[in-house]
Structure 1
Amino acid sequence: MRIAVTGSIATDHLMTFPGRFSDQLLPDQLAQVSLSFLVDELEIRRGGIAANISYGLGSLGLRPLLVGSVGADFADYRAWLERHGVDCAGVHVSELRHTARFMCTTDTDHNQIASFYAGAMAEARNIELAPLGEIDLVVVSPNDPEAMVRHTDECRDRGIAFAADPSQQLARMDGAEVRSLIGGARFLFTNEYEKALCEQKSGWTDADVLDRVDIRVTTLGAKGVVIDRKGEPGLHVPAAPDVRKVEPTGIGDAFRAGFLAAVAWDLSLERAAQLGNLLAAHALETAGGQEYSLDKSVLIARMSTAYGPEAATEIATNLT
C-alpha cells in the first residue's frame, strides 16, 4: 500500500515550564490574560504532523510519500527523513518563506500552550496529488486549510481512499469546512476533545458522523483508544502499560503511524490500535516527535508484554 501523508512540516521549539498553567490563570481575569512563563528547558526538534507520521511509518519499514510545503532551509531535514525511509518527492520548496515553526510550552501536568507560524506551509494549497503517481491512501492532516480542502476534494474526485485528521485546525474551521473534510473518509482520527468539537462545529451527532465515515478512531490518552463503525459495538483498546512520560509532543502522530502501518499490512483494527498505542508510548518517552527509535526486538517484546504473544507474532511478521 502506498500512503501519501499530507500536512505540516515544521521545526518544533519545545519548552518546559516547572509549574502548572492552571495555577497562573485567574478565573475572573480570563478576558484579559497577559502572562509570561519562565521556562527551564528549550529543545529544537524536527516536527510537523505530516513529517512526524511519515517518520513513524518509515521507521516501521514502509515508504510513505510526504506531501507538503517547506522553505529553502529544509535540506538537512530532508536528508534526515530520507534516511528514515520517507519519500520526499511530494515536498514543495518555497522561494519566499521559511519552513513552519511550532512553539510549545509544556507544564508539569503535561498541559500545553502553543503557537504555530505557518510560513511556507501556506503554499501547500498549490500541490496537486495526481502528478505524484498511484496512491492507495491519502492522510489529510493539519495543514494550510485550503490545502486540506483541496486534497480532500481531489481524493473524492479521483476515488482515492483518505483518512481525515483535522485535529488542531478544527479551531479555525467553520461547520461547512469541517463537514467537507469529514464526509466520505475511510478513517476519521481525533482525540476525545476534538471528537466533541467536530460534532459541535459540524452540527452532526455521533451517529451522523458514523453515517459519513467508515471507521472513527478516537484516542483517549492514558485510557487508550476507541474504534467505532456504524452498526457495530465500539472497540476499546487499552493504552500500552509501563510508559515513562517525558514529553507528549507528537504522540498522536506516532499513534497514527502505527495504526496506518498495520492497516497497510492488512491486519485487524485491534492490531492497528495496539501498534498505534505502542508507537505513541515510544514518542511519549522522548522529547520531540521524531526522537524515538525503533529496535525490532524491543518493539516485539513490548508488544508481547502489552497485548500478548499472538499480537507480537503478527507484528513481527511484517517488520523489516
Structure 2
Amino acid sequence: MSALICGSFAFDTIMVFQDRFKNHILPDKVHILNVAFHVPDLRREFGGCAANIAFNLKLLGGDPLPMGTVGKDFAPYAHWMDQHEIPRTHVKEIEDSYTAQAFITTDQDDNQITAFHPGAMDFAHEVQVGEVQGVKIGIVSPDGRQGMIDHARQFAEAGIPFVFDPGQAMPLFSREDFQQFIEQATWICVNDYESQLLSDRTGWSPHEIAEKVEALVVTCGGEGSHIYLSGKRLEIPAARARVVRDPTGCGDAYRAGLLYGLMNGLDWEVTGRVAALMGAIKIEQHGTQNHSFTRDEFHSRYRESFGRELDLN
C-alpha cells in the first residue's frame, strides 16, 4: 500500500551563535535593530514536512509517495532522495523559483531567529492528488495554502482516507477553513499548542473534533501523546530517548509512525507507540533525515521503551 504524502520540501540552513542574543540586543533599541552574529558552526540539512515524513516512513519499511513543488536548486536534494530510494515521480520543479528555505540562527539558550522563504512551496496547488494512481491513504501536511486546501478536497472527492496535519501552516487558515478540513479528513494530528489553537478557531473541543473524524492525535513532546477516539482518550507514553540533540523534525517522524500503523492495520495503542518511538529516535540526531535503524534495532528499542514486544504480523 502506498501513502501519498503532500507537503513541503525545504533546505534548512542552521547556524549556531556561540553566545546569547540577549547580550547583543539592546531592549530600548529594538525599533532600530541592526545586529550581526558571528556563527562558526553551520549545517545545511534536507528538510520539509513531506520529505521528512517520507524519509521516516521508508525507514519503517513503508511505501511513501511524496508530492510537492521544488525549485531550480533542487538537484542535491534529488540526489539524496535517489540514494535513499524515495520516489520523485510526483515532485514538480518550478523553474523560476527556489526550493523553500529556512535560515535559522540558534543561540546558547536555544532561542532561534528564523527567516523562511517559501519559494516553490507556494505553487503546491500545481500538483494534484488525481495524478497519482494506486493510493490508499494520504496526508496533507504543511505546504502552500492553496495546495493544502486543494489536496484535502481532492482526497475527499476521491474517497481516499487522509490525515490532516496543519502544523506551522495554521496561521494561514480561517475558522471556516478549519471546519472544512475537519469535515473532509479521516484523522487529524496536531501538537498540544496546535490542538488548543484548533479548538479556539473552530469552537470545538478535542472530544467534539474526535466525534467528527476517526481519531484526533495530539502530541505533547516529552509527555507523550493523546489519541482521542469517539467517547474516549488513549494515553500514549513517550518513548525513551538515549540522548536529546535536536527536536526539529520529531513531529514529522511521529506522523510517519502514525501512517505506518494505519497502513498496516495496527491498533491505536501500538500505532501510537510506534509513532512515539520514531520521534525519540529522531531526537537523538541533528537534522531531520540523519537517523537510521534496522528492523531488529527498532524492535529492541520498542521493547526497551514500552516493556512489551512489537508484533507487526
Tell me the TM-score normalized by structure 2: 0.91
Contact preservation (8 Å) 1:5, 1:54:
yes
Match of 2:205 in 1: 205
Structure 1 residue matching 2:46: 3-state secondary structure: strand
Pair 1:303-2:311 in alignment: no
Alpha-carbon distance in structure 1 between the residues aligned to 2:179 and 2:16: 36
Q: Which amino acid aligns with 1:247?
A: D
The superposition leaves residues 5-60 of structure 1 with CA deviations (integer Å, 9 ceiling, x where unpaired) of: 0000011112334566788899x879959475734522100000110000001111
Structure 1 residues 212, 37: CA separation in 2 closer, same or farther (over 3 Å shift)? farther
Q: Which amino acid aligns with 2:246?
A: E
Please give the residue correspondences for 1:186-205 in structure 2 after superposition, counting only pairs within 5 Å.
186-205=186-205
Match of 2:221 in 1: 221
Please give the residue correspondences for 1:1-320 in structure 2 after superposition, counting only pairs within 5 Å.
1-18=1-18, 34=33, 36=35, 38=37, 39=39, 41-108=41-108, 110=110, 112-232=112-232, 234-311=233-310, 314-315=311-312
The superposition leaves residues 67-103 of structure 1 with CA deviations (integer Å, 9 ceiling, x where unpaired) of: 0001122233123223323222111111110111022
The superposition leaves residues 92-146 of structure 1 with CA deviations (integer Å, 9 ceiling, x where unpaired) of: 1111101110222345555544332111111111111112112111110000000
Tell me the TM-score normalized by structure 1: 0.89
Q: Which amino acid aligns with 1:149?
A: I
Alpha-carbon distance in structure 2 between the residues aligned to 1:262 and 1:173: 29
Alpha-carbon distance in structure 2 between the residues aligned to 1:194 and 1:183: 18
Q: Which amino acid aligns with 2:115?
A: S
Alpha-carbon distance in structure 1 between the residues aligned to 2:29 and 2:195: 25
Contact preservation (8 Å) 1:17, 1:37:
no
Structure 2 residue matching 1:204: 3-state secondary structure: coil
Contact preservation (8 Å) 2:2, 2:135:
yes
> How big is the shift at 1:310?
2.0
The superposition leaves residues 275-308 of structure 1 with CA deviations (integer Å, 9 ceiling, x where unpaired) of: 1111111211111110111223322211111112
The superposition leaves residues 192-220 of structure 1 with CA deviations (integer Å, 9 ceiling, x where unpaired) of: 10111111122323233123221111110
Structure 1 residues 18, 209: CA separation in 2 closer, same or farther (over 3 Å shift)? farther
Q: Which amino acid aligns with 2:151?
A: H
Alpha-carbon distance in structure 1 between the residues aligned to 2:191 and 2:150: 24
Structure 1 residues 160, 249: CA separation in 2 closer, same or farther (over 3 Å shift)? same
Question: For structure 2, which runs of at least 5 residues remain unmatched after alignment?
Answer: none
Contact preservation (8 Å) 1:156, 1:184:
yes
Q: Which amino acid aligns with 1:237?
A: I
Structure 2 residue matching 1:310: 3-state secondary structure: coil
Name whichever of 118-127 and 172-181 sits farther off: 172-181
Alpha-carbon distance in structure 1 between the residues aligned to 2:118 and 2:99: 8
Contact preservation (8 Å) 2:137, 2:263:
no
Structure 1 residues 169, 30: CA separation in 2 closer, same or farther (over 3 Å shift)? farther
**Identical positions, percent:** 32
Structure 1 residue matching 2:74: 3-state secondary structure: helix
Q: Which amino acid aligns with 1:82?
A: D
Name whichever of 34-43 and 177-186 sits farther off: 34-43
Q: Which amino acid aligns with 1:127?
A: V
Structure 1 residues 122, 310: CA separation in 2 closer, same or farther (over 3 Å shift)? same
Q: Which amino acid aligns with 1:239?
A: A
Question: For structure 1, which runs of at least 5 residues remain unmatched after alignment?
Answer: none
Structure 1 residue matching 2:211: 3-state secondary structure: helix
Contact preservation (8 Å) 1:142, 1:167:
yes
Structure 1 residues 41, 78: CA separation in 2 closer, same or farther (over 3 Å shift)? same
Alpha-carbon distance in structure 1 between the residues aligned to 2:201 and 2:30: 23
Structure 1 residues 108, 277: CA separation in 2 closer, same or farther (over 3 Å shift)? farther
The count of residues paired between Structure 1 and Structure 2 equals: 312
Alpha-carbon distance in structure 2 between the residues aligned to 1:254 and 1:35: 37
Structure 1 residues 201, 22: CA separation in 2 closer, same or farther (over 3 Å shift)? farther
Name whichever of 291-300 and 254-263 sits farther off: 291-300
Contact preservation (8 Å) 2:73, 2:99:
yes
